[in-house]
Amino acid sequence: MTRVPTPSIGRRSIIVGAASATLSLVLPVGPGAATKLTVTPRQTAGPFYPTDWGGDSDNDLVVVTGEATESFGQVVHINGRVLDLDGGPIANALVEIWQCDANGVYRHPRDERGGRRHDAGFQGRGRTRSDVLGRYTFRTIRPVPYPGRTPHIHFAVEVPGRRMLITQMYVFGEPLNERDGILNSIRDLRQRESVMVRLDEANGIEPGSLAGNFDIVIG
């Protein structure tokens, strides 16, 4: 697989820029909204929830502290907000993601066996907290399929006093979406559409990258 070169740009400036760009593309919502938002559906955490959060586990999964090279795969900026049903922002929510690398291997001992090796340049999992406006952002790679699954990114959102939400984000337009059993177990069409994210070119954020917006609504 060809490594996509990443320009020499500071991680912090890229991530902040991505969040700002995304905010300009979304419609404002708030307590005055006429209708309730669609609750983000719960999904399985899968067999590869990270067993080790030690070391580098920030919101930039493309660069790993101590590794000389960055990850394989196309860089994607995922931005969004954590919201309540009325569209109000939820601040200080812990947002986690985890996904396989560009070769379809998770950073997990159950997946790294039989000669399979996780890309050392890919962090594999990341954590951040939503800000006062409910915003969060991650710099990662475009998810890839592996046997039995369409491309997806796992999310876990923890809000004090509420049950943790575990869900998955999918790529809009992926042909394998139609055959993915976990995705299609979401019977409510509005909820299924709510976890589909369109990934568009984002050269203004980072040359050669993509960007998408994934708002998470806590019921």
Residues 83-117 pLDDT 10s: 999 999 999 999 999 999 999 999 999 998 878 89
Instruction: With cut-offs at 50, 70 and 90, classify the pLDDT of residue 162.
Output: very high
Task: Find all residues with CB under 8 Å of 163, minimum gap 6, and list them.
Answer: none
Instruction: With cut-offs at 50, 70 and 90, classify the pLDDT of residue 4.
Output: very low
pLDDT over threshold 90, residue 17: no
Please say whether the beta carbons of 95 and 127 come within 8 A.
yes
Please say whether the beta carbons of 46 and 165 come within 8 A.
no
**Beta-carbon neighbour count of residue 40 at 10 Å?**
23
Which residues on adjacent β-strands are paired with residue 158?
A: 94
**Beta-carbon neighbour count of residue 106 at 10 Å?**
23
Please say whether the beta carbons of 18 and 146 come within 8 A.
no
- Rounded mean pLDDT, 57-81: 95
Residues 18-54 pLDDT 10s: 444 443 334 444 444 457 999 999 999 999 999 999 9
Q: What is the dihedral sign for C-alpha 82, 151, 212, 203?
A: positive
Residues 115-135 pLDDT 10s: 889 999 999 999 999 999 999
Nearest-angstrom CA–CA distance, 219 and 217: 6
Task: Find all residues with CB under 8 Å of 177, minimum gap 6, and list them.
Answer: 150, 170, 171, 183, 196
Architecture in CATH for domain 11-217: Sandwich (2.60)
Domain ranges of the chain: 11-217
Query: What is the pTM for the complete model shown?
Result: 0.84
